[in-house]
Amino acid sequence: MKFQLTILSIIVAFAFTNVEVAKAQSVSKTGTTAGAFLQIPVGAQASGMGGAVAAHVNDASAMFWNPAGLADIESNELMVEYADWFVNINHNYFGIAIPTKKGVAGVNVVALTMGEFEETTYDNPEGTGRTFSAYMLSGGVSYAQYLFEGFRMGGNIKFVHEKIAETSATAFAFDVGTMYKLPFNDIRFGVAITNVGTQAQLDGDGLITPVDVADEIDGNYIADSKLATDAFNLPINLKVGFAGEVIDNDQLRATLSIDGNSPSDNVQSVSIGTEIAFLDDLFLIRAGLPYLGMEDRVQKYNFGVGINRGFNRNNLKMRFGYSLESYKYLNSVNRISLQILF
């Protein structure tokens, strides 16, 4: 009976989301928002499951996916992560969660960093001899707690900053989410909306350029002018998900999870993930299919493994995670995360 109800919940969620996907297939707003790096996944667990964790995430990466999952953390947790993104771009995540008397508080940082670039101009296509850098950064504080049995809620307030050379943009946003354990068969339901906030608009000395306002007249004064830029929204995303265990005992746990995704800059889609744990969660295998139904979907599949190790001294525990994200046109992305529970 437990297996049938778990599968039924997932089928219902899948059918509901597919109806919305069908309605939205003709509308795509790819590339119309700022802060696109906020859509890059964090956490080896979530990445390995294809991002289908709105109702399943329960570690420090919950501050990114669904802040409500933070409420399940029972001890201090430090999480650091590194991913070698594309063409020498590094993607990093840092999160620390600390239980309090009533809930769990946390701090998180997401950073996308790049090396030095050689400056080229119209007059100097081979390079000017100068270099510049670029990076994208998000930092936030989170809090989550149980409001009543089975129901938890959390939020994350953050700032978002993007910089290239002498031009930058800053915005402020919040994420909010809930999780509810349904009163049958341990099925969990999660909802999260992320990146709701102010618009980001590029500004800075890098937009200053010399302009001849009357180039048909010789000897004119060349004035410094500042290029005008538009303000853009952040990539808001609504996630609705179900998760449940098909098998759950001391030797084996198999979790199925499904999320419906509704982003502001693309069509709606479905992500499906699974996590299989052996020997009381000592060793874990994960797999996921992200963004099914998205017309311009470039991710093919995700895969991951995890190892949980406890130490007798001071109740110290360590969790190691690895995930691989496979793409159609680009190289695969390897993600490594380390969690310390103390």
Structure tokens at 289: 């299919």
Segment 38-61 mean pLDDT: 95
Q: Quote the pLDDT of residue 246.
A: 93
Written as six digits, the tokens of 41 are: 């996944």
Backbone conformation region of residue 143, classed left if phi is above 0, alpha if psi is from -120 to 50, else beta = beta
Q: How far apart are CA 205 and CA 271, in angstroms?
A: 42
Cα within 13 Å of Cα(211), Cβ side: 8
pLDDT of residue 156: 98
Q: Please give the Cα distance from 239 to 229 (Å, whole number).
A: 31
What pLDDT, on the 0 to 100 scale, is given for residue 127? 84
Element holding 211 (H helix, E strand): strand 208-211
For residue 11, the SS3 value is: helix
CA 261 – CA 246 distance, rounded (Å): 23
Half-sphere exposure of 152 (CA within 13 A, CB side): 28
pLDDT score for 185:
79
Measured in whole angstroms, the distance separating CA 307 from the mean position of its chain's CA atoms is 22
Distance CA 64, CA 42 (A): 7
Per-residue pLDDT tens digits for 239-252:
999 999 999 998 89
Residue 70 has a CB neighbour count (10 Å cut-off) of 33
Mean pLDDT (whole number) for 260-270 = 92
Q: From the centroid of its chain, how far is CA 129?
A: 37
Q: What is the dihedral of CA 118, 120, 124, 126, to 10 degrees?
A: 50
**Dist CA 260 CA 299 (whole Å):** 16
> Which three-class secondary structure state does DSSP give residue 39?
helix
What confidence tens digit (pLDDT) does each residue in 139-189 have? 999 999 999 999 999 999 999 999 999 999 999 999 999 999 998 878 999
User: What pLDDT, on a 0 to 100 scale, did the predictor assign at position 208?
Assistant: 87
Helix spans in the chain (H): 2-24, 44-48, 62-65
CATH topology of domain 2-32+46-341: Porin (2.40.160)
The pLDDT value recorded for residue 6 is: 42
